[in-house]
Each structure stands twice: as C-alpha cells, then as structure tokens.
A = this chain, B = another copy of it.
Amino acid sequence: MRFVLGIDGGGTSCKAALATADGAVIGRARSGAANIRTDLTGARTHIVDAARQAFLAAGQDPDLIPETPAVLGLAGANVGTYRQQLQAILPFAASRVETDAEIALEGAVGAGDGAMAIVGTGTAYMARKDGKSRAIGGWGFQIGDQGSGARIGRDLLEQTLLAHDGIRPASPLTDEMLAVFRNNPEDVVEFTTNAKPGDFGGFAPKVFEHAAKGDAVAQWIVDKAVDDVEAALGALELRPGDPLCLLGGLAGLYASRLTERYRAQLRQPLDDALGGAVSMAARLFSEQGR
C-alpha cells in the first residue's frame, strides 16, 4: 500500500485528499454533492471523481484507486443501510464509511479519546471514550439543537413579542428587534412562517453582543443557551483530561462563557474533517498492513 484516501462528502460538495501511507497529504480535490440518502449512485460518482482528481493533483496515476484504501465521512452514514449499500459499490481497495461527525472528531482531537461540540446554526456533540464514539443532539431546532443559533434567534423573537405584549420585560435588544419589524408583531410572526434555521440563527451574534453589553433579555437567553450546552457536555461524561473542541460558527462566542471545568478542557482542533479522514485511513490501514 503506497497511498491512502480521505473523503469528506456532504450535501453541497465532496472533498478528497490523497496521502502517503503515513498520512502526509500530497493532493487535494473537490467535486459535487455526495448525499447518500437522496442519491446513492450520484454520491458514488462524485466520490470517485474527487478521488481521481486528488490523484491527478498529486501527480499520481488514478489507476491506483483499486489498490488504495479509503476512509469516507458522510452525512447520513448512521441511518438505515446506506453505509452498506455504498461500500458495496465503491472501487477502493478497502472502504471504511463513517459519519461526517466521526471524521470531524478524529480531525479535531486525533486518534485518542476526546469530544467535540458543534455549536453553529444547529448543535451536535460527539465523544470518543476508550475508543468508542457516541453522538448526541443534532435533532434540528424545532424540538432540539438547544443552544444553537437557530434556537437563540427564535428565543429572541419570542421574547420580543412577549415584551411587546407587556408579558415579559422589554430591553434595548427587544426594542431594536421590534423596530426591525416596523414595530409590528404581525411582521415578526410572518417572518417566522417561512424562516429557515439559518434565518433565526442570523440574530444569534446580536444576542451575544447585547449580552456582553448587559442587556437583561440577551443575558437571559445566553445564560439559558450556555446552560443547555453544558447539560449536553455533561451527558458526554468527559474525564478531566479529555480534550474538548468547539466547532461551528458560535464556537468563539461560547468558549469564554463555559464554566471553568469545561474551559480547562478546551483545545484548538488539530485538523478539519478531511484531515480526520486521512489520518484515520493512515491509522487503520497501516495497522492492517502490518
């Protein structure tokens, strides 16, 4: 075995990295979407295309694909039998299909134990303990994703309407939000009718900003969000020495707000998800080769 492949496939694109057997990346490439839940054969096409392009980018012969093992991180790989269906039609010497979260965790904390919290428009968590991974959260903002940008934005709009009705106290932030909607609560409701998680989440940085300035409603929302994130971290049952990485658009805003216990465990991610796939491939297949 001369090379290993790492693949990071998602709903918008598929990235591939070719590396030497010890995990040093020598070529990268990107192709189209790899959504195994909605288009399995299309996903295979883009995965193979990205792999070929990575060989070419490294100045290597793509005909070596059947001799090259790969680790693939793909959203939806933990659902139904998509993983098995895909593995059966891939052309690599060996294929290990993992979830996107698994390769992100490997990239963030490396091969050992540790955990990551993705805090962005949504929230999701994964921890590896004694080599076994466990994922929690990530159920979407409607009845999950506590502490996410979407939930924080939704909370703000809710508090804005409650303040308008005189049910809960107003604040500079709720006044500002109501003004955004022409001081018309019906416009707020109208906005939510078609709002996607990212539309709600767009208000989250403003909530953190006002919380830092002492806005009482913003502080209440952020305190609740931090409490929710810490409750999820608590369920991961990390040991004091385990590294913890915060990923996602709100990572920087949360980092300073966690209690000392979790702040002491925070580490910068070692690498991204694609890097995680590569190093997992080098680790798994070099071991097998020995």
How distant is A12 from chain B, measured CB to nearest CB, in Å? 21
A side interface size, CB within 8 A: 28
Q: Inside 8 A of A188's CB, which chain B residues have their CB? A: 139, 143
Q: How far is the CA of A185 from the CA of B146 in the complex (A)?
A: 16
Q: How far is the CA of A193 from the CA of B142 in the complex (A)?
A: 8
Binds B, one of A47-55, A228-236, A252-260, A270-278: A228-236
Q: How far is the CA of A256 from the CA of B148 in the complex (A)?
A: 36
Q: Which of B139, B142, B157, B161 contacts A185 (CB 8 A)?
A: B139
Known: A79-B186, A192-B143. A137 touches B165 (CB 8 A): yes
Interface 0/1 of A135-154, CB less than 8 Å to B: 01101101110100000001
Q: How far is the CA of A144 from the CA of B159 in the complex (A)?
A: 9
Q: How far is the CA of A234 from the CA of B165 in the complex (A)?
A: 11
Q: Which of B140, B146, B166, B235 contacts A136 (CB 8 A)?
A: B166
Asked if A158 is an interface residue, CB under 8 A from chain B, the answer is yes
Contact between B232 and A165, CB atoms less than 8 A apart: yes
Asked if A167 is an interface residue, CB under 8 A from chain B, the answer is yes
Q: Inside 8 A of A193's CB, which chain B residues have their CB? A: 142
Give the one of A79, A142, A186 with max B CB within 10 A. Answer: A142
Q: How far is the CA of A203 from the CA of B158 in the complex (A)?
A: 22
Contact between A235 and B167, CB atoms less than 8 A apart: yes
* Interface residue ranges of A249-289 to B (CB < 8 Å): none
Q: Which of B142, B168, B192, B231 contacts A192 (CB 8 A)?
A: B142
Q: How far is the CA of A159 from the CA of B281 in the complex (A)?
A: 38
Residue of B nearest to A200 (CB): B143
Q: Which of B137, B144, B161, B166 contacts A143 (CB 8 A)?
A: B161
Q: Inside 8 A of A167's CB, which chain B residues have their CB? A: 136-137, 231-232, 234-235
Q: How far is the CA of A132 from the CA of B139 in the complex (A)?
A: 45
* Interface residue ranges of A178-197 to B (CB < 8 Å): 185-186, 188-189, 192-193
How distant is A247 from chain B, measured CB to nearest CB, in Å? 18
Interface 0/1 of A77-99, CB less than 8 Å to B: 00100000000000000000000
Supply 26 A–B pairs (Cβ within 8 Å), ascending by A.
A79-B186, A136-B165, A136-B166, A136-B167, A139-B161, A139-B189, A140-B189, A140-B192, A142-B154, A142-B189, A142-B192, A142-B193, A143-B154, A143-B157, A143-B158, A144-B158, A144-B161, A144-B189, A146-B162, A165-B232, A165-B235, A167-B231, A167-B232, A167-B234, A167-B235, A168-B231
The 6 closest A-B CB pairs, nearest first, are: A136-B165, A143-B158, A166-B235, A167-B235, A143-B157, A142-B192
